Structure 1
C-alpha cells in the first residue's frame, strides 16, 4: 500500500500491479484497461490534493500514450514531468533520464533533448503530479477553479505544456472516454 499524507489527512492508495499496467497498454482494449488502472490512483490523488480525477486520468493518457510511451514504461513517468536540471529530479522521482521531445516555445515547434523524471512506480508519478500542481506557483491560478475540470485544465495548460491545443486535447479525452465519472463522490 502507498500512503499519501497531506497535513493531517492520510490517503491509502491500493497497490498497483506495474506489470498489469504495462500489459494493459500492449493489448487490445488497452484504453479501457489503462483507464481502469489509472482511475483508482487518480481518485486517491483527488482525495489527497483535490485535483479533478478526470483531468488526472486524461493528462496521464495524453502524456503517456495510454501507458505505452517509453517514458512511461521505462521511467514510470505518466505526466511528462521534466527535471529542473539534469541532476535535480525533485523530492519524489529517483533520477533524471534524457529523452527527445518537441517544444513549441519559442515557435515554431522543434525537436530538443530534455531530462525527464524517473519514478519507482506509477503511484509515485501520480503523487508527484498532485504535489506539483498544488505547490508550484505556475499552477496557482488553477486551484480556485478545480471544481470545474475544463476550467482547471485550461488554467493548468497555460504553464504545463507548450502545445497550444493541450487543454483541448485533454478535454476531448475526458469527453470521449467519460472520465468525468471519476469526479463523482
Structure 2
C-alpha cells in the first residue's frame, strides 16, 4: 500500500514538472521590440503594368494573384537588384512562392514575404508559426519593403551564398539551383518551382533593367497623360458561408486552394458553419 502511494506521488511530481517545463518554454516567446522602419517612398516605374498586360493577352490562364503581385512588387525587386546584385526575377519568384502571392498568413499579418526566421541577433518584433518545427520564430515587419530589404541583406551577408554573386544577373537558373545547394530551402523541387514561375511570367525581363532605365521610365510616364484603368468586377475580401458550402466548393468559386483558405483563416479542420466569414482574397 505504501509503495503504491509513493509511486503515485512520484508520478504526480513528474507530470507537474513536465507541465512547468511547457509553461517555461511558452514564456520564452518574446514579442521583440518595435523597430523604427523607414516609411516606403513612391517607387519608380519598371514598366510592370505593361509587362502584366502583355502576359494577360498571351495567356488568359495565368494566376491573377501572381499578376497582381508582379504589378505591386516588381519595382522593389528591381531596386534591390540594382543595390545588391540579386536578380529581380529570383527575388520576385521567391516572394511569389514563399508568400503565396502575398496572401499567406505570415505575409498578411507580419509583412514577411520570404519566411525569414528570427535567427540569432534579431531583436525586432516576432511571430510564431509551425514550419520545419512547431512554433518557430519568424520576423515581423511593418512594411513589405523592409521584408525585401532584409531578404537582400540576408543573402548578401552570408558566406554560404557568396558564390551566387559571382554569377551573371541574368543567370536565374544558376541562382535558383545555387540557393538550394547553399541550403536556403529543404524542398528538393525548390529550384524547379522558381524557374517555372520565372519562365511562366517572364520575370527574366526585369533582370535586364539598369538604374538609368528606371529614370527613363519615370520621364516617359510624366510625358504621357494617365488613362483611368477600367474597373473590373471586384471579388469581395470576405465570403459568408451559406448552406451547402464546403471548403472545396468555395476554393473553386474563388480560384484558390483549400490549403490557402485554411491558412489565411487559421482553420484547423474542414468544418464550416453557416454565416461564418472567410477571407478569400
TM-score bin, normalised by smaller chain: 0.7 to 0.9
2: CA distance, partners of 1:33 / 1:61: 10
After superposition, what is the alpha-carbon deviation per residue over 1:41-74, rounded to whole angstroms, capped at 9, x for unaligned? 0001001101100000000000100000010010
1: CA distance, partners of 2:185 / 2:64: 28
The TM-score with structure 1 as length reference comes to 0.75
Counterpart for residue 140 of structure 1: 162
Aligned Cα root-mean-square deviation (Å): 2.2
5 Å-filtered alignment, 1:10-159, equals 14=43, 29-85=64-120, 88-89=121-122, 94-101=124-131, 103=132, 112-147=134-169, 148-158=171-181, 159=183
The TM-score with structure 2 as length reference comes to 0.50
Deviation at 1:149, TM superposition (A): 1.1
2: CA distance, partners of 1:3 / 1:135: 23
Mark the CA change 1:145 to 1:71 in structure 2 (over 3 Å): closer, same or farther.
same
After superposition, what is the alpha-carbon deviation per residue over 1:163-183, rounded to whole angstroms, capped at 9, x for unaligned? 111111111110111111111
Counterpart for residue 168 of structure 1: 192
1: CA distance, partners of 2:42 / 2:160: 27
Deviation >3 Å, runs of 4+: none
Which sections of structure 2, spanning at least 5 residues, go unmatched? 1-37, 45-62, 210-281
Mark the CA change 1:146 to 1:126 in structure 2 (over 3 Å): closer, same or farther.
farther
CA contact (8 A) 1:13 1:41 kept: no
Bigger relative contact order (CA 8 A; separation at least 6): 1
- Structure of larger gyration radius: 2
Structure 1 residue 177 and structure 2 residue 201: aligned?
yes
Which sections of structure 1, spanning at least 5 residues, go unmatched? 5-11, 16-27, 104-110
Which SS does the other structure have where 1:79 is aligned?
A: coil
2: CA distance, partners of 1:96 / 1:128: 14
CA contact (8 A) 1:100 1:114 kept: yes
CA contact (8 A) 1:96 1:117 kept: yes
After superposition, what is the alpha-carbon deviation per residue over 1:102-147, rounded to whole angstroms, capped at 9, x for unaligned? x3xxxxxxx5331111111100000011111111112112111142
Counterpart for residue 232 of structure 2: none
Shifted more, 136-145 versus 70-79: the winner is: 136-145
